[in-house]
Every structure is written in C-alpha cells, then in structure tokens.
Amino acid sequence: MRAQRRERGPGPAEGPRLELAGRGAAARAPYPVQAPRVRFSSVVKPIDLRSDTVTTPTPAMRRAMAEAEVGDDVYGEDPTVRRLEERAAQLMGKEAALLFPSGTMANQAAILTHTQRGQEVLAEARSHVYGSEAGGMAVLAGCQPRLFYAPDGVPRPEDIEALLRPDDEHYPPTSLLCLENTHNMAGGTVIPVDRMQALAAAARRHGLAVHLDGARIFNAAVALGVDARDLAAPADSVMFSLSKGLGAPIGSMLCGSGEFIARARRWRKLLGGGMRQAGVIAAAGLVALDEMIHRLADDHANARRLAEGLADLPPLQVDLDLVQTNIVMCDVSAVAPAPEFSRRLAEAGVLALDVDRRRVRFVTHKDVNRDDIDRALAVIAGLVRGPVRA
C-alpha cells in the first residue's frame, strides 16, 4: 500500500502530524511482520512504545564506540570483541560466546549447529524462532518445526513429552527444543528457573539439545530476582540481545560450550555475520552489560503502570497476570480493529504495534519515562471515549 499523508494538523492533545505507511496483510498476521513506519513532519517527539528495539545509544556508549580499540574480528584480532565475548560467556555461565549482528542470525546459527537437515525442532507456536525469522529453520537448516501452545508462554514438561515421536522411519527425528525467555508474543512472560530445569531435563531424557532464545533474558532475571546464568544454565546454548532493553545500537550474543561456539562461528561466516573492526559495536555492548541491566526494573514498573491504566479504561482488556516485564498486550477489539486503533494512536503521537486484529502491543524501555506513560494513557483514554471504529 502506498504511504498516505494524514492531513490532521497537530494540536495540544493530538501530537505531531505524520505520514503513516500502511501495513496491509501484516496486520492480519498472528505475530508482528513489520512495525508501522512513521515519518514525522513536526518536531514534536512521539512516545514510541512499538518495541525496545527503538532505544538509542547512551552518551557513554557513543564515547566508548568512538574510542574503541579495534582489529579484524574475522581473524580473531579485535580485542574489544574478545572482551565482550568473555563477558557474555561469564554472565551466562558458559565456556564461550560469539558476537552476531542480530538475534535472528544468532538463533539460526544455533539451530544449524544443533541439528542436521531433515530433523525436527520443537518450538512454541508463537515463538520468535518459528514466527518471526522468515522461516529460517526450514530454509536454512532444512528442519521441520513441531509446535506446542503454551497460553502464558511458559511450557510444561508434559507439553514436550506429548510431542515426541516414536523411532519410526515415517517420522523426522527430533533433535532440538527451543525455548523463549521472556516470551515476546505471550506478553513478556518469564520462565522460572525450576521450570527451565524441568523442561531441559525432559528434553535430555529423549536426547534433545536445548536452545534458549533469551533476547530479553535480563528482563526475566530482573523480574525473578535471579542471575541470568541461573536461567541459562539448563540450556545448551543461549542467545541474548544487546540492542533491546540494554540500549546498544546493534548486536546479539550466542553462548555455549567451546566446541559449540567453534562450530557456530563457521555458520556465522556462511550467513554473512563475520565482521571486521567490530570493536566499535562491541564497545557499546560492554557499556550495556555494565550499566543498563540494573535499570530494567524501571521499564517493568512503567509497563505495570501502563497496564493498570489500560485496565481501568473499559472496554479495553489487559490480563495483568501476564504483565511480568516490559511488554503489555491490550485487546482493543471492542473499540476498533487493532490496525485502525494503532493508526489513530500514531496520529496522536503514541506509537504501538498491532500484532493481530485484536491486540496492540506496548513495550517500555529506557527512552520512555513515567510522564510519557501518563501522557500515553491520556491519549488512549481520548481514543476510547471517542469514535475510532472503522
């Protein structure tokens, strides 16, 4: 759909005038395919709650990037990258780690390393590795996904046991269990340490490796009051993002045994993820790990404030039990279809992501404060009380 210019002028309660690029079929997908693109024609800054991927580097990160000691990382000669990889491995309690440009590439490299073509991978039906990575496990690894559904994003060992196939030539062998903590599309829910341990034990009883998509593992750790390594320990490999709540501009880490990371490094090269003077990126990642983890509790508090405010605006619906970290899922269908609701929000200066026809997702992060949350709630209240159905 061609971008259309919205002609409503900005007013005190409306926020900036903008152009909104339509999302077409993406609005009907059961998971976010593409975030709405906005081009603001006013200097008024929007309240951007689409994702924590929109965070910008801190001044300390920018200074570290400018002053980073670098080398050729493909040759293993970048000292800043080596420091970041050592730090990541230590935080996850693993032998080694590897820097990737993105979490998607790191997840796919992990699947390629753990599996062989023609095998099967167990994953939750709304997981990122299944629904938001362009079919990578099929296209790249030649693996078939086998899905289970966990309503709150927290699977049970019996969910895993129920999917295991008999040793029969008619079936693909199952080799890998993928978990996600926190679970994005379930609303940022967390898998506790004891459940991680039970799931990994169930997988290993049947010879499965375990990969943890821990893009937001530090959010889970802060919410549970545990070390991230406690959540990572049951998994054979874990990926975490530097560029979401931690605020670095780019980068994700894949952690595991030394032998696993050596093989994953070859897959990274094949996927185009080998970088040269990557210390410029790694420097920001080091600052993120040193300075940004502790403040994630602020994002969680803001998400709770937002969720409670939305729950007080009938007919909007929010399951407060699922608001455990920095993500809020809100059913807006009684007011308008979610794509129309998010479009009207954007026109009023609040950006959110419609993830299907009923729900809008809000994600808090370091660049949104308590006052922004209250302003966003005021805008949403105005929409709920006014005509927005299309």
Q: List the domains of the chain with CATH numbers.
A: 17-22+35-56+296-385 (3.90.1150.10), 59-291 (3.40.640.10)
- Asked whether the predicted pLDDT for residue 88 surpasses 90, the reply is yes
Task: Work out the pLDDT band at 182, boundaries 50, 70, 90.
Answer: very high
Kindly state the percentage of the chain with pLDDT values over 70: 88
The pLDDT value recorded for residue 1 is 38
The pLDDT value recorded for residue 385 is 87
Kindly state the percentage of the chain with pLDDT values over 90: 85
- Asked whether the predicted pLDDT for residue 17 surpasses 70, the reply is no
- Asked whether the predicted pLDDT for residue 200 surpasses 70, the reply is yes
- What are the phi and psi torsion angles at 172 (to 5°)? -75, 140
- What are the phi and psi torsion angles at 42 (to 5°)? -135, 155
How many Cβ atoms sit within 10 Å of the Cβ of residue 222?
23
The pLDDT value recorded for residue 18 is 32
Task: Work out the pLDDT band at 386, boundaries 50, 70, 90.
Answer: confident
- Asked whether the predicted pLDDT for residue 310 surpasses 60, the reply is yes
The pLDDT value recorded for residue 377 is 98
- Joined together, the tokens standing for residue 374 give 């209250």
Between CA 335 and CA 14 the distance in angstroms is 19
Asked whether 153 and 185 are in contact (CB, 8 A), the reply is: yes
- What are the phi and psi torsion angles at 306 (to 5°)? -65, -45
How many Cβ atoms sit within 10 Å of the Cβ of residue 154?
21
Looking at residue 182, its amino acid is: T
The pLDDT value recorded for residue 387 is 60
The pLDDT value recorded for residue 388 is 53
Report pLDDT digits (tens) over 95-133: 999 999 999 999 999 999 999 999 999 999 999 999 999
- Asked whether the predicted pLDDT for residue 29 surpasses 80, the reply is no
With a CB cutoff of 8 Å and minimum separation 6, the contacts of 227 are 221
The pLDDT value recorded for residue 40 is 44
Does the CA dihedral 189-187-155-88 come out positive or negative?
negative
**Overall average pLDDT of the 27-45 stretch:** 47
Q: Is 206 helix (H, G, I), strand (E, B) or coil?
A: coil
- Joined together, the tokens standing for residue 100 give 């990737």
Looking at residue 218, its amino acid is: F
Between CA 9 and CA 349 the distance in angstroms is 12
Asked whether 208 and 178 are in contact (CB, 8 A), the reply is: no
The pLDDT value recorded for residue 107 is 99
The pLDDT value recorded for residue 136 is 97
Task: Work out the pLDDT band at 43, boundaries 50, 70, 90.
Answer: very low
The pLDDT value recorded for residue 311 is 98
- Joined together, the tokens standing for residue 272 give 């185009």
Between CA 187 and CA 182 the distance in angstroms is 8
Across the chain, what does the average pLDDT equal? 90
DSSP letter for each residue of 306-365: HHHHHHTSTT-B--GGG--SSEEEEE-TTTS-HHHHHHHHHHTTEE-EE-SSSEEEEE--
The pLDDT value recorded for residue 216 is 99
Asked whether 88 and 253 are in contact (CB, 8 A), the reply is: yes
- Asked whether the predicted pLDDT for residue 244 surpasses 90, the reply is yes
- Asked whether the predicted pLDDT for residue 5 surpasses 50, the reply is no
Q: Which of 15-29, 230-244, 304-318 has the lowest mean pLDDT?
A: 15-29
